[in-house]
Amino acid sequence: MTTRDPALDALAALLGESGILLGPADCARYATDVSGERGELPRAVLRPANTQDLSEVMRLCHRHGLPVVPQGGRTGLSGGASCLDGNLVLSLERMTGVIAIDPDALTLVAWAGTPLQTVQEAARERGLEYPVDIGSRSTATIGGTIATNAGGIRVIRHGMTRQNILGLEVVLANGTILSDLNELPKNNAGYDLKQLFIGSEGTLGIVTRAVMKLVPATTHANTALLGLSDYGAALDLLGSARRRFGPQLVAFEGMWPSYWDFVCEEAKLVRPPLSGRHGLYVLLETAHEGASGEEAFEAWLGHCLENELVEDGVIAKSLAETRSIWAVREAVGELDAAFGAHINFDLGIVPSRLGSFIEACDRALAAFVDCRSLHVGHMGDGNLHLIVSTGSRGPQEVHEIENVIYGLVGEWHGTVTAEHGVGTLKRHWLSRCRDESQIAVMTRLKALFDPFGRLNPGKIFE
């Protein structure tokens, strides 16, 4: 296999036939992620099978000046894995599998290319849980969830991916293997290096293996779908649920009428499990160990109804009912066809100010003709997915809508991305929530770890 390019020939010799893809037909599906960002055809797709090979790949790329895009399952929503002109793709798809589980230490070690769901299932077989969970679990890889510090539906109890990682093995831009496969729950021996690589979207190093924290599997869950009068009531309900259930509260999802009506009535993506119109819909879930907590859950909810904190509600009484409740929330992943062209904002606003932020967005968007918004999100975390239709608008007009919304995010001291990451899609807007001194430190870190810009170039920073 020769390519008339000495660098690619050297990589092909290193990786062997199964370790490199060169043909355009083979490479095409690696061009971008599910964000819809345009990606270029990779010059080649590198598929090392272990850390040593990946280290050699980076040494060769370093020597020949080749920029690489690390890729996991390509389920990212910000273009963080999209291939820019002249890039090679470095896929972790052959570095896959669970390596070890220690049920006493509550740890699991896996290769970065392992799908999230495989890790979840391996833990569950031992009566344990890896609590990070996102809709794309079957395709998203552990390495990708670490690179993007994935959030998801259980952050309110278990935190983001960062909180669930104990140790990492990472390959640096020059091929150095940085092994920090810490398994200890407490370790204050010098700087906690793994923190640098979590959430840095493959721009500082490539995660190859990870030690994850497990928790005992919960044995019972209580799920309810509630109709409330408005956001203020939802904030009160959140406070009440936190005081009553503390860390047993695992989900507190908010669906505004804009979203509810669209997925239940207009597009009919799901059947509404709750009748009547409400100012806000909340999906609330608690999880329990040992005992079901069902009585306490029902008593608390009864109390909330009596006090008119909640207008109406249903409690799931079977797995099927639990699924039909979650289906309304998860329909967000299926509305593309029905809703048409749109911007999917992933905003973070302090929960106490989220209600007024949404009102401000509505007012600002009224200036754009036929620009419709859906509102849904992880309300307990202040994470709003604001979905704004763009119709037949061109890039300039889309940019104007973004400019208005990200301007409000800046005024509200929010973040332009709560959980999806910056990638290419939001790099222009980073300065709306990070000041010059912060961006200066970030770029100095980037220069320290990747002085020649070989690791996922063009991501996070413009």
Q: What residues numbered 55-84 form the site for a second copy, per CB under 8 A? A: none
Draw the binding track, 160-189, toward a second copy (x: CB under 8 A; -: no contact).
x-xx------------xxxxx-xxxxxxxx
Identity of the residue, 215 or 267, whose beta carbon is nearer to a second copy in the bound complex: 215
Sole binder of a second copy in the list 8, 46, 237, 418 (CB under 8 A): 418
Draw the binding track, 371-410, toward a second copy (x: CB under 8 A; -: no contact).
-------x--xxx---------------------------
Sole binder of a second copy in the list 441, 451, 452, 462 (CB under 8 A): 441
Left if phi > 0, otherwise alpha if psi is -120 to 50, otherwise beta: which for 23?
beta
Q: What is the β-pairing status of strands 107-111 and 98-102?
A: antiparallel
| Phi, psi of 216, rounded to the nearest 5 degrees | -60, 145
Under the binding rule (CB under 8 A), the answer on residue 248 touching a second copy is yes
Residue 216 CB: number of other CB atoms within 10 A? 13
Identity of the residue, 270 or 460, whose beta carbon is nearer to a second copy in the bound complex: 460
Amino acid identity at 138: S
CB of 226 within 8 A of CB of 310?
Answer: yes
Measure the CA–CA gap between 450 and 69, rounded to whole angstroms: 13
Measure the CA–CA gap between 453 and 462, rounded to whole angstroms: 12
Identity of the residue, 7 or 217, whose beta carbon is nearer to a second copy in the bound complex: 217
Identity of the residue, 19 or 131, whose beta carbon is nearer to a second copy in the bound complex: 131
Number of residues in contact with a second copy under rule CB under 8 A: 92
Sole binder of a second copy in the list 58, 270, 361, 460 (CB under 8 A): 460
Which pair of structure tokens corresponds to residue 398?
């889309």
Smallest separation (angstroms) from a second copy to the CB of 255: 18
Sole binder of a second copy in the list 52, 292, 352, 356 (CB under 8 A): 352
Which pair of structure tokens corresponds to residue 118?
């495989």
Smallest separation (angstroms) from a second copy to the CB of 367: 26
Binders of a second copy in range 318-337 (CB under 8 A): none
Which pair of structure tokens corresponds to residue 68?
């690489």
Sole binder of a second copy in the list 416, 454, 456, 458 (CB under 8 A): 416
Binders of a second copy in range 291-310 (CB under 8 A): 291, 296, 300
Under the binding rule (CB under 8 A), the answer on residue 209 touching a second copy is no
Please list the helix, strand and coil fractions of the chain in percent, rounded to the nearest 5, in that order: 40, 20, 40
Specify which residues 249 forms β-bridges with.
286
Sole binder of a second copy in the list 174, 442, 453, 457 (CB under 8 A): 442
Sole binder of a second copy in the list 216, 302, 333, 407 (CB under 8 A): 216
Amino acid identity at 203: T
Smallest separation (angstroms) from a second copy to the CB of 433: 5
Residue 329, C-beta contacts closer than 8 angstroms, at least 6 positions apart = 153, 253, 255, 283, 376
CB of 389 within 8 A of CB of 423?
Answer: no
Under the binding rule (CB under 8 A), the answer on residue 415 touching a second copy is yes
Sole binder of a second copy in the list 58, 206, 282, 430 (CB under 8 A): 430
Q: What is the β-pairing status of strands 107-111 and 206-213?
A: antiparallel
What DSSP character marks residue 148?
A: T
Binders of a second copy in range 89-118 (CB under 8 A): 102-107
Which pair of structure tokens corresponds to residue 377?
């999100």
